[in-house]
Amino acid sequence: MHDKTLTELKAGLANGEYSSRELTEHFLARIKQFDGELNSFITVTEEQALAQADAADQAIAAGQAGLLTGLPIAHKDIFCTEGVRTSCGSKMLDSFIAPYTATVVEKMAAEGAVMLGKTNMDEFAMGSSNETSWYGAVKNPWDLERVPGGSSGGAAACLGARLAPAATGTDTGGSIRQPAALNNVTGLKPTYGRVSRWGMIAFASSLDQAGPMGQSAEDCALMLQAMAGHDHRDSTSLNEKVDDYLGALNEDISGLTIGIPEEFFPATLDGAIADNSRAAIRELEKLGAKVVSVSLPSIKLSVPAYYVIAPAEASSNLSRFDGVRFGHRCDDPQDLEDLYKRSRSEGFGDEVKRRILVGTYALSAGYYDAYYRRAQQVRRLIRDDFARAFEKVDVLMGPTAPETAFKLGAKKDDPVSMYMADVFTIGVNLAGLPALSMPTGFINGLPTGTQVIGNYFREGQILNVAHKYQQATDWHRQLPAFGGEQ
């Protein structure tokens, strides 16, 4: 059953080929058997999952099935889940039991989804390799000596190994798309505000966005149909009509114009990475799409602008973790200052501390205009570049990541090199656009992905493009040797 997509599993449930309980037990057994090596889950909610599966079977029998009824799904451990630990991959929140449920989890549960557990992640979503988690590094199922990407590395790895058929992730600078590319799965970052952030622990509030991760674009469309929509509890949630993402999947792409930003294919890019993406684009040309070259001249500034804006917002968001109200609290504090210092020093890891320091500096008196304000001005230039490009094209395409999965520990002591793993994805977050990564081939047995970027609220179009590509190819069907007989 684990070699089927979420959509295929949904059809099997409807046809009575298996029950939700059987399906859930199958994936729970795989997690027990294989996740000891992979480390993709922080918490497995077996008892709750089986109870939800039994309820789903009753709903199906009564003809009351929702979009996701009976389908097992994993949630990134950044989404609050009432009564279940929500750690954000940090010692700071290791003991935090959320008193409420995030909107994303709530909406998917309302459609009948079964929660298998909470997936591992870079601490507070800060990282591109899933090595900053307090619970240890996640391994890539295609090579256990390599990283799965981050920060949604646990979600991507468990999907790649087929320990779950689908998962939720979050994307602040590429944290859905980059790990999706490195694990041969499909991941979608929606338009900023398309999916509620309520109950999603904040990293950088103007950049964070929840999204679906699955085996295929069709799976992502199914999940987004359940996740998307306005939420009055989230002030950044946009009150825009939710499109029929599933209905748009099979639209003809003849006449679609694909823009190829020259900045996404620099001379320094690995030739094999470029070749795989260009081959994907040629496949879409065979289906009737047109290809033109475009330029995003300010995109080269996206990484430095991001690493001022995101740490600045993080330094503000993470100030709430002070050892007083919730989270880690140091033993025997001498006074309030000692409580603050030791609780935060003990609770946060090195990468989180680094970003808090950078962000606090950028916001400090005398430096705000020189750094934070200037970075926001660059952000507007990047957004304007995308706007001009979308006057000429329907979607933009290029590699998702500049390299395949690198060895565990290879970049841990070189933060700048690590930051460049998101060089092709960060601009999308700064502009607030939707983008999807889809599997488009392998290099030396390691997956690569190609990114499809759309205009605001055009998730249906990029899902359509990816679905048409996946109907013509089978890269997304390839499975790693890890995980036993497939």
Paired with 212 in beta bridges are 168
Please, are residues 303 and 428 in contact by the beta-carbon 8 Å criterion? Answer: no
Q: Is 16 within 8 Å of 44 (Cβ atoms)?
A: no
Burial of 277 (0-12, 13-18, 19+ CB in 10 A): buried
User: Cα 323 to chain center, whole Å?
Assistant: 29
From 40, 128, 151, 237, active-site residue: 151
- The residues, ordered by sequence, that sit 6+ positions from 461 with a Cβ below 8 Å of its Cβ are 248, 394, 395, 454, 455
In angstroms, the CA 312 to CA 307 distance is 8
Provide the token pair at 241: 């009509």
**Catalytic option among 10, 20, 40, 76:** 76
Spatial distance between the Cα atoms of 360 and 314, rounded to a whole number of angstroms: 9
**Residue 462 and residue 434 in contact, taking contact as beta carbons nearer than 8 Å:** yes
343 belongs to the catalytic site: no
Contact 44, 87 (CB under 8 A): no
Q: What share of the chain is helix, strand, coil (3-state, %, to 5)?
A: 40, 15, 45
* DSSP code for 450: E
Q: Which of 40, 175, 196, 237 is catalytic?
A: 175
Output the CA angle 273-447-260, nearest 5 degrees.
35
Check if 411 is active-site: no
User: Catalytic residue at 206?
Assistant: no
- Residues 71, 112: Cα–Cα separation, whole Å: 7
Q: Which residues pair with 200 in a beta bridge?
A: 79
Strands lying side by side in the sheet with 166-170:
41-44, 114-119, 72-76, 166-170, 210-214, 186-189, 435-443, 446-454, 395-399, 257-261, 290-294
Output the DSSP codes for 206-253.
TT--EEEEESSHHHHHHHHHHH-S--TT-TT----PPP-TTTTTT---
Q: Which residues are catalytic?
A: 76, 151, 175
